[in-house]
Amino acid sequence: MNRIHLVLLILFAVISGCDHGFEPPERGKISGTIIFKGKWPPAEEVRALYFGAAPFTPCSVDDIVARFSEVALSNDLNASGTGIEEATFSISDVNPAVYVYSGVYLQYGPTVLEIKPVGVFSENNGAFIVSSGQTTEIDLTVDFDQLPPFPPASCSP
Amino acid sequence: MNLRLLFLVFFGAMCFSHTPLIAQSATFSGTVQTEDGKPFPGATIRLSGTGYGAVSDINGQFTVKSVPPSVYQVLVSSVGYLTQKETISLKAGEALVRTYRLREEALQTDEVVITAARREQLNSEAPVSIAVLGAKDIEVRNIVQLDDALRYTPGVQLSDNQVNVRGSTGFSYGVGSRIQFLVDGVPMLNADTGGIAFNLVPTAQIKQVEVIKGPGSALYGGGALGGVINVITKDFPEKPETSFRSYVGVHPPVRYTEWKQNWAGSQRNRYFWGANISRSEQVTPKLGYWMNANYTQTEGYFQNSDGYEGYLAAKLGYQFSSQLKMETLITSSLTHKNGFVYWASGRDALRVAKTSLLNGSSDNEVRRLAILPVFTFLVNPSVFISLKNRFYGGTTIPIWNGALVERDQWTTGARFGSELQVNIDLKAKRYLILGAGFDQNATNSKRFFGGDDTNFAQPEWAAFGQYEQQLFKKINLVAGFRLDHYEISSNEVVQRFSPKLNVSYTLNPALNLRVAWGYGFRVPGITERYVNNSEFLPVIPNTQLRPEISNGYEAGLKGFFVLPIEDWAGQYDVAAFSNQYTDLVEPKFQNNARAFQFVNLTKGQINGLDVSVSAGRKDGRLLFNLAYLFLDGKDRSDPNNVLPLNYRSKHLLQASISVSPLRRLEVGVDFRYASTFERVDSDFGNFIPDATLHLPTKVWDTRLRYDFGKIQVSLLVKNAGEYYYMERPAILAPTRNFILQLQSNL
C-alpha cells in the first residue's frame, strides 16, 4: 500500500496547492459628460457641484447623509468656476451595483446637509449598472431653469 | 370517460383471470452466497420482465412464491458484484431451489437497468448511453439531496439545480427542466414551473439512479429533451432493517475580506446539520414496506440562505395474488427557506441584492405531496401490464417579513394522471411494449399570473409503442414512437410525434457497439407561458411559446477489459453524439414592454464525445473512475453569425478514486473540472452586477470512512481546495465545508 499512500500524499499536495478560483473583482468606474443649460444661480450659492450615484432612492437629504458611504461621488465639477457649459467626470473605485438614483448635486451652503439635486439621470427609469472592472458611461443635462423635484415622486406615500 | 372504461376493463380482467393461475403456481427459492460460500444478504433476485422477485435475507436465502409456470430469465444482482443470469423453467406445483454465488467485482459491472427500454435488461445490452449511480455512491458522499449526487454522474453537469446532460440545458432563469425526471418510472416534473423538486426524493431509499443521455421523448414524452433521470427506490428486505444517519457540517469563513465586510454573518463558522431514519421490512410474503424521515437545517453560507426542510416518505407493497401486485410510494416534503437568487455584486458576493429596483431574494415555504400507486399484473408469463398512477401537488407560500403571506398569494400546482403499459414477450428475443397515458396539469397563482384569470391547465394525452428484435443472435434492433397531445388552451393544441431507432451489435461478450437516434421535446411550462409578475424582475406572459425540440444521434461502444495487472479489471463506454435543438426558450428583455419575456430564441447544435472508464481491483479495495465530456456547442440562431452556445462548458472532467488501505477504512477523493462557459450572454447582465462573470470549476471532495461494525463514521471535506466558483450567474457555489457523518444499520 506504500504506492497508494504516495498517491494520496501527492493528491493532498495538489489539492492544497491549487488556486482558489474566483476572487473579489476590481471595482468599476463611472464616467460621463454633464451639459449645463439655463441661468446659473449666483456664484455664492454654488459652493460645489458633484455627480453622485446612489444604489437607493433618497427621500430626503438625511437619507443621503445616512448612507453616504454607498454613494459614488465625483470631484467638484465646478472647480473651474460657474457658468461652464460642459463638464466631464470620472469616478474610479466604484462598488459594482445597480444605481437607481443618480444626478448632479449642488452644494449651496457650507455643510453637507445643504445640498440639492439639480439634474437627475432619467434614462431606463434612472437605473444603471456598474460591473466589476468596467466603465459605465453616463451623460446628462442640468437645466437650472427646470430643476428636478426633490424628494422624487416615488417617495410619495 | 374513456379512462374510466379502461380502468374497468383492466381491473375486471384482473379479477376474473388470476384465480386459475394460483392453483397452478410454482415456487422458486434458493440461496445467494459469496464466492467463498458465505451467506449473501441483500442481493436482488428478479424474474426478468415479470415484476416477480425477492431480496435475499441475512442467511442469503430467498423465496419467490406463487409464480406462474413458464420459462424465465433469472437475474441475481447486487452493487459491486457481477450479475448472475440463468434461464429456468418452472412447472405447475414445482418448488425449484437454486444456489447462486456472486463474484465480487471492483466495478458495478453490468447492473440491471430498466429505463433504457422500459423493461429490465443488463446495462451492457442497453442500446443507448446510460449512467448508473448506486446507493453506496450516495451514502458514502453524505448526499442529502439528489441533485448533489448527479454532480458525480458521468456526462452530467449542474447549473445550480438545473441538470445538464451532455450540455442539453445550459442555464435559463425560470425555464423548466429539459430533462425528464422519473421516480420509479413515474414522471415527477413540477406542475407550475416544470422544474424538479429534488428534496422530495427519499435519498436513503434510493436503490439506483439511471441517467439516459440523449433525447428520450419516444419513451417518456415531454421534458425528455436532453435526457431522462429515473430514480429507482429500494425493494423490501426479507429481514427488518433500520438505519440511522446524522451529520453536522460547517462552512468556515471565506478567505476574502471584501466578501466579509458587508455581512456580519460571514465572520463566523456557518453550521448545517441533519438526520435521517429509515425502516424497511417484508412483513409477510404479501406485505412489505419502508419508511424514511429526513430533517436538515442550515445557517447558509451566504446571507439570506438559512432555513430548514424535511420529508416523510413511505413505500407500501402488497401482493394481492400471484398475478397482481401493488406498490405505492407516498412522499411529502416541507421546505422553509430564505432564497438567495443573486448577489449584490462580485465584490459583495455573500450579500443578496436588495435595492429599491432589484430583489435578489425569494423567501418561501414550499409544501409538496406525491402519491404514486403502481399496479403490476401478470396476465400470463409472456404478458405483463403495469398501471402507474400519480397525484403530485405543491404549494409555494411566500415569506414576507418573516411570516407566511395570506392564502390569496399562494401558488398551487397539481398534476395527476395514469399510464398503462403492456409488455409482451413475443419469445425468440422479441419484445413489444405498448402504452397510453393521460396527465392533467393545473396551476393557480394570483401572485405570478396577476389579472383576473389565475387558473391555467395543460392536459396531455399520449400513446407509445416499442418493438425489439434480436437478429442473427448478435444484432438487437429497437424501434419506438410516442404521440403526445397537449391542450395548451381551449382553442390551441400541440401534438408531437417522437420516433426512435436503436441498433446494437454484440461483437463479443466483452464488447457492444451501438447506434441510436431519437427525438425529444419539451412543452413550455405554465409559468413560462403565463407569468406576469415584477417581484424580482418585470416579466410578462407569452402565450405563443412553441415546444422546444431536439433530435439526437449517437454512436458508441461499451465493454469490459482485464488489465495486465493481477486482479485488475475495468469497463468503458465511449460515445460520439450530435444533438440539434430548436426553439429553445430563453428569457429576453423586451425594450418596448420594458420587461422580460420567455421567447423561443435559440437554435443550437451540440457535437461531442462522452468517455467513461472505470477500473479497479476485483476485491474492491481500489477503485478508479474517470469520465470526460467534450462539447462543441454552436448557437445557429443567426446563420450568418454562429456563436458558441450560451452557458456551456467545452470540457467536463470527473474523476474519483476510492482506496481501502485497511479492511475497515476507506479513503476517497472526487474531482470535478468544467472549463469556463464558452459564452455568457444574458440580458440579466444588464440588470445584475457581475452576472456575466464565470471561470473554470475545479473542485476536490475528500472523504474518510471507518467501519466500527454497527456504526460507520465518516469525515468529509467538500470543496477541499477552497475553490470559489459559480455554477450559474451571480451566485457562489458551495464554499469549502467539513462534515462529520455517523451511520448505523441495525
Q: Does A83 touch chain B (CB under 8 A)?
A: no
Residue of B nearest to A3 (CA): B661
Q: Does A138 touch chain B (CB under 8 A)?
A: no
Topology match between the domains B2-102 and B112-235+308-745? no
Residue B730 reports pLDDT greater than 80: yes
Q: Does B721 touch chain A (CB under 8 A)?
A: yes
Give the distance from residue A43's alpha carbon to the nearest chain B alpha carbon, in angstroms: 36
B350, containing H or E segment: strand B348-352
pLDDT at position B72, please?
A: 85
Higher pLDDT, residue B608 or B458? B608
Residue of A nearest to B357 (CA): A100
Query: From CA A74, how far away is CA A31, in angstroms rounded?
Result: 9
Q: Does A156 touch chain B (CB under 8 A)?
A: no
Q: Does A152 touch chain B (CB under 8 A)?
A: no
Residue B3 reports pLDDT greater than 60: no
Across the interface, do B346 and A18 touch by the CB < 8 Å criterion? no
Across the interface, do A19 and B622 touch by the CB < 8 Å criterion? no
3-state DSSP helix/strand/coil percent for chain A, to nearest 5? 20, 35, 40
pLDDT at position B44, please?
A: 84
Q: Does A153 touch chain B (CB under 8 A)?
A: no
Backbone angles phi, psi at A134, to 5 degrees: -120, 155
* Arithmetic mean of pLDDT, B642-663: 92
Which tens digit of pLDDT belongs to each residue from B516-561? 999 999 999 888 888 888 776 778 889 889 999 999 999 999 988 8
Nine-digit cell at B635?
Answer: 448557437
Backbone angles phi, psi at B63, to 5 degrees: -145, 130
* Arithmetic mean of pLDDT, B621-642: 93
Across the interface, do A130 and B685 touch by the CB < 8 Å criterion? no
CATH class of B112-235+308-745: mainly beta
Higher pLDDT, residue A16 or B597? B597
Q: Does A122 touch chain B (CB under 8 A)?
A: no
Running DSSP on this structure, what letter comes out for residue B525? P
The mean predicted confidence, pLDDT, of chain B is 88
Residue of A nearest to B725 (CA): A22
Residue listed under C-alpha cell 445538464: B164
Which tens digit of pLDDT belongs to each residue from B252-296? 999 999 999 889 999 999 999 999 999 999 898 889 999 999 999
pLDDT band at A17 (very low <50, low <70, confident <90, very high): low
Residue of A nearest to B662 (CA): A1
Range with lowest mean pLDDT among A81-85, B423-427, B474-478: A81-85
Does a cis peptide bond (omega within 30 degrees of 0) precede residue B41?
no
pLDDT at position B12, please?
A: 43
Nine-digit cell at B392?
Answer: 403530485
Pairing of strands A97-99, B383-400: unpaired
Give the distance from residue A114's alpha carbon to the nearest chain B alpha carbon, in angstroms: 25
Chain A residue numbers touching B689 (CB-CB < 8 A): 96-98, 129-132
Residue of B nearest to A155 (CA): B356
Residue B105 reports pLDDT greater than 90: no
Chain B residue numbers touching A72 (CB-CB < 8 A): none
Q: Does A130 touch chain B (CB under 8 A)?
A: yes
Query: From CA B637, how far away is CA B627, in angstroms rounded?
Result: 31
pLDDT at position B21, please?
A: 41
Could you give the percent of chain B with pLDDT greater than 90?
Answer: 55
Across the interface, do A132 and B689 touch by the CB < 8 Å criterion? yes
Query: Which residues lie closer than 8 Å to B77 by C-beta, 6 or more apart?
Result: B43, B44, B46, B83, B84, B111, B112
What are the extents of the domains in chain B?
2-102, 112-235+308-745
- Which of B77-86, B401-410, B559-568 has maximum average pLDDT? B401-410
Which tens digit of pLDDT belongs to each residue from A111-128? 777 889 999 998 888 889
Strands (DSSP E) found in B428-542 = 430-445, 455-457, 460-471, 475-489, 492-508, 511-522, 539-540
For residue B433, give the nearest of B447, B423, B446 by alpha carbon.
B423
pLDDT at position B22, please?
A: 43
> Under a CB-based contact definition with an 8 Å cutoff, are residues B413 and B405 in contact?
no
Which tens digit of pLDDT belongs to each residue from B110-146? 678 888 888 888 888 888 999 999 888 888 888 888 9
Residue of A nearest to B718 (CA): A15
Which tens digit of pLDDT belongs to each residue from A22-52? 999 888 999 999 999 999 998 888 888 999 9
Across the interface, do B724 and A100 touch by the CB < 8 Å criterion? no
pLDDT at position B11, please?
A: 40
**C-alpha distances in angstroms, B416 versus A118, B282, B318, B392, B395?**
61, 29, 22, 6, 15
Higher pLDDT, residue B683 or B637? B637
Which tens digit of pLDDT belongs to each residue from B415-462? 999 999 999 999 878 999 999 999 998 998 888 887 677 788 889 999
For residue B355, give the nearest of A24, A56, A125 by CB distance.
Answer: A56
Across the interface, do A22 and B726 touch by the CB < 8 Å criterion? yes
> Under a CB-based contact definition with an 8 Å cutoff, are residues B47 and B120 in contact?
no
For residue A24, give the nearest of B258, B594, B698 by CB distance.
Answer: B258
Chain B residue numbers touching A125 (CB-CB < 8 A): 357, 594
Residue of A nearest to B692 (CA): A131
Give CA torsion, residues B575, B75, B181, B424, to 10 deg.
100
Give the ipTM of the model, two decimals please.
0.79
Which tens digit of pLDDT belongs to each residue from A53-63? 998 899 988 88
Q: In chain A, what are the domains? A: 25-155 (2.60.40.1120)
| Best A3, A100, A129 residue to mutate vs chain B (most B CBs within 10 Å) | A129
Q: Does B686 touch chain A (CB under 8 A)?
A: yes
Query: From CA B484, how far away is CA B461, in angstroms rounded?
Result: 6
* Arithmetic mean of pLDDT, B707-728: 93
pLDDT band at B93 (very low <50, low <70, confident <90, very high): confident
Across the interface, do B659 and A4 touch by the CB < 8 Å criterion? yes
Chain A residue numbers touching B349 (CB-CB < 8 A): 22, 24
Q: Does A57 touch chain B (CB under 8 A)?
A: yes
Q: Does A25 touch chain B (CB under 8 A)?
A: yes
Residue of A nearest to B668 (CA): A8
Query: From CA B572, how far away is CA B556, in angstroms rounded?
Result: 11
pLDDT at position A3, please?
A: 65
pLDDT band at B107 (very low <50, low <70, confident <90, very high): low
CATH code of the region B2-102 = 2.60.40.10
Which tens digit of pLDDT belongs to each residue from B158-207? 887 789 999 998 888 888 999 999 999 999 999 888 899 998 999 999 99
Q: What residues of chain A, 27 to 46, have a C-beta less than 8 Å from chain B?
A: 27
